[in-house]
Structure 1
Amino acid sequence: MGILEGKNILVTGVLTQDSIAFHVAKIAQEQGAQVLLTAYPRRGLTERIARRLPSGPDAAPPVIELDVTNATQLAELPDRISEHVPTLDGVVHAIGAAPQTALGGNFLHTSWDDVGAAMHASTYSLKSLTVACLPLMKGGGSVVGLDFDASQAWPLYDWMGVAKAGLEACSRYLARYVGPQGVRVNLVAAGPLDTPAAKGIPGFQEVAGVWGDRAPLGWNTADPVPAAKACVALLSDWFPSTTGEIVHVDGGVNIIGA
């Protein structure tokens, strides 16, 4: 019996088979969970990718269209989920987006409109998604978000780095406010991976290129499985008293001073 046996898990951010979220959904199914997916803006792409999960093309998980910056869609989310499962036990926040003007060394000149768009999609959405799902988590549960260590200023990451720092703070405040309802909130800070999101970050290869040299355990940018396993572990009942934490899955780079 798997560690997610009998649990209903909502996974956002499945874009391709290289997505961390895809591997979270895959391992969650292998561990016994019933998985639901959300997609935006390319729902058809997510539906095609969903057919490659272990459940197979004939039993692929449902895909719900969800723009986490759209208040109407967030308000409708509990009803949309209830069409498939009566309750939720876990939610995976694998969402992050920023205009190109907020990345790539333009930090001093990025407009508030573009900064605000990055913060809305990448930071505030953790709160929005969690609150939207709370009515279905009456028995408690686990919210897991994907992070990239925001304790340092990374080359060319710019306002997305600020958004991730906000995500880390948001997760702690969320943990404080939803804890009395039995809901845990944690983040997994993965090292650089060759995901669709990474391809949109100028200078990604510059960071990824030195990661393997600095990581005590080594690092493979083509292997999202370690990060996905950490997410699944946090979704399970094996961390019943852990909340507001950031679990680093980066080969140990976060502990290295120089």
Structure 2
Amino acid sequence: MGILDGKRILVAGVTTDASIGFAAARVAQEQGATVVISNFGRALRITERIAGRLPQPAPVIELDVTDPEHLERLPQVLGEHVDGLDGVVHSIAYGNPETLLGGDFLRGPWEDVSQAVQVSAYSLMSLSKACLPLLKDGGGSIVGLTFDAGVAWPAYDWMGVAKAGLESCSRYLARDLGPQGVRVNLVSAGPLRTLAAKAIPGFESLETSWRDRAPLGWDETDTEPTARAVVGLLSDFFPATTGEIVHVDGGFHAMGL
């Protein structure tokens, strides 16, 4: 018997089997959930292939969180696979690596910054709003993924700003959706070798810092601890927790120099 038995979960933003979203979908299935995963565009075909690597076959739907038509029809598309939702995982972020990452913060053009903020932060609200009609039977849980935006990281630049927006957005959503029984939380993971991480210049230096300073140690290839935290927040074991950021980083965030 798993902690998500009978629950219906949407994991939005699954591209490869090295992603946190994929790991969250896998652990959710192992804990008894019915899972639907999403992607869009050219990446959708990749997602359809890697869905077969989950413990159980999972429906794959097309969802571009910046497309109003996709968001409007989301309840109908999900309704073809599940009769409601108990949880949503927001595993979505993007910033142009050529202009927004790499250590030259002052060069970031607004066109690229606005896209990064829309995809990485605003989409938490737009996805939550689109899913709200299905999160009606006693509320539910929305869980997003962040990379600690409380400090300025080397090379992370405008994606750090976008993540700060995501973290603030999660708190306001927690405020506004709480009366409907919907919890909104984030998991802040340490550096993991995902597809997104490969686009960050200097990512290797972050890996080294984590291994040296995290009191529990850190394995940048292991998405399991982060996925378990996501699934824990999706479950009923945190009924009074919302607006929270749970760090899964080996304790790195709590250490000084």
Q: Could you say which TM-score interval applies, normalised by the shorter chain? A: over 0.9
In structure 2, the partner of 1:255 is: 254
Partners of 1:200 and 1:125 in 2: CA distance: 21
In structure 2, the partner of 1:69 is: 66
Equivalent residue letter for 2:50: I
Query: Is this contact kept in 2: 1:142–1:184, CA < 8 A?
Result: yes
- Number of residues of Structure 1 aligned to a counterpart in Structure 2: 254
Partners of 2:217 and 2:189 in 1: CA distance: 13
Q: Residues 98-247 of structure 1 correspond to what in structure 2 (within 5 A)?
A: 98-100=95-97, 101-139=99-137, 140-247=139-246
> How far is 1:106 from its partner?
2.4
Equivalent residue letter for 1:80: V
Query: Is this contact kept in 2: 1:75–1:132, CA < 8 A?
Result: yes
Which TM-score applies when normalising by structure 1? 0.97
* 1:196-225, Cα deviation, whole Å (9 max, x unpaired): 110111111111121110100000001010
> How far is 1:172 from its partner?
0.1
> How far is 1:40 from its partner?
2.1
> How far is 1:177 from its partner?
0.3
Q: Once the two structures are aligned, what percentage of the paired residues are identical?
A: 62
Partners of 2:202 and 2:113 in 1: CA distance: 19
Query: Is this contact kept in 2: 1:13–1:19, CA < 8 A?
Result: no
Equivalent residue letter for 2:169: C
Which TM-score applies when normalising by structure 2? 0.98
In structure 2, the partner of 1:17 is: 17
Partners of 2:104 and 2:113 in 1: CA distance: 11
* 1:50-72, Cα deviation, whole Å (9 max, x unpaired): 001001xxxx1111111111111
Give the 3-state SS of the residue equivalent to 1:51 in structure 2: helix
Give the 3-state SS of the residue equivalent to 1:247 in structure 2: strand
Equivalent residue letter for 1:20: I
Query: Is this contact kept in 2: 1:118–1:160, CA < 8 A?
Result: yes
Partners of 1:63 and 1:17 in 2: CA distance: 14
Unaligned regions of 5+ residues in structure 2, if any? Answer: none
